[in-house]
Amino acid sequence: MKRTLLYIALLVVVIVGVGYLAIWRPRHAAAPEAERARTAVVQRGRLLVSVSGSGSVEPQARVNLTFESPGKVVEVPVAVGERVSAGDVLARLDDGQAALRVRQAQAALTSAQARLAQLQESPRQEEVASAEANLRAAEAQLNAAQANLAQLTGGASAAQIAAAEADLLAATKQRDDAKEAHDKTLTCITIELPYGQGEQELCPALGPPEEQTRYNWQAAERSLAAAQARYDELLAGADVNEVRAARANVAAAQAQRDAAQAQLDLLK
């Protein structure tokens, strides 16, 4: 019985403690917070909001400037970020070379004007003589070109063939003589040495004499080949390429003669 009463008493104490913690203590704890609260009158106003950020500034338009002629920049009269207008000078180049070219062009113009004035005056006697000499030379060149063309298209004459044949025979004899002279330089002799020392072969022409005769022989061979080619060409006649080249030479000589005649007519 006593133990039951003890349990009941403990239960009552627990209930009272829980009630204290749940009801009375929160009221006393909220009182200081209520005392610290502030009040204000509501009124209409402007709300200011600011935003900050970072970035890079880009121009609305970008233009690459170039000069009409290359050169060295010697002056930039504006600064970065400075406002400019159309027609403002942004940079200057070194005009030393340009000024030199202008002076040279002016000198050339002056010389040409003086030459023109000289030509417009009455020609000097030596100028006329020079023009006449040029005309004669051009006519001679034209005649030679025409004669060459006529020879190629008309074939070789009997006299030309006979002369070429004579040249061929002469070149053949010259080649044979040169070869014979060279062969003689290769001749060696055998002599007996005294006191029974045996024999020794001597070639006295070897060395510079043999080299000279060999050179003459080779030159004669080349001359013979040229004479043979000339003789064969006369017998065979001209080919198409030779005739075409000869006609081109005639046309060029004709144009040169006409130019010389025009120059002479201008002076007269």
Which residues in the chain show pLDDT less than 50? Answer: 30-31, 34
Longest dimension (CA), the chain: 179
Q: How many helices (H) and strands (E) does the chain have?
A: 7, 4
Residue type (1 letter), 14? V
Q: What pLDDT, on a 0 to 100 scale, did the predictor assign at position 239?
A: 66
Q: Which residue shows structure tokens 């039951």? A: 4
Domain spans of the chain, in order of start: 124-267
User: Which phi-psi region, left, alpha or beta, contains residue 144 (left: φ > 0; alpha: ψ -120 to 50)?
Assistant: alpha
> Tens digits of per-residue pLDDT, 170-218?
999 999 999 998 888 888 777 777 766 777 777 777 788 888 888 889 9
Q: What is the pLDDT of residue 175?
A: 92
- Pairing outcome for strands 199-202 and 73-75: unpaired
Question: 3-class DSSP state for residue 73?
Answer: strand
Q: Looking at residue 31, what is its pLDDT? A: 47
Tell me the per-residue pLDDT of 44-62, one tens digit each, with 9 for 90 and over: 777 777 777 787 777 777 7
What's the confidence (pLDDT) of residue 14?
Answer: 63
Give pLDDT, residue 208: 82
Full-model pTM: 0.34
Element (H, E) at 199: strand 199-202
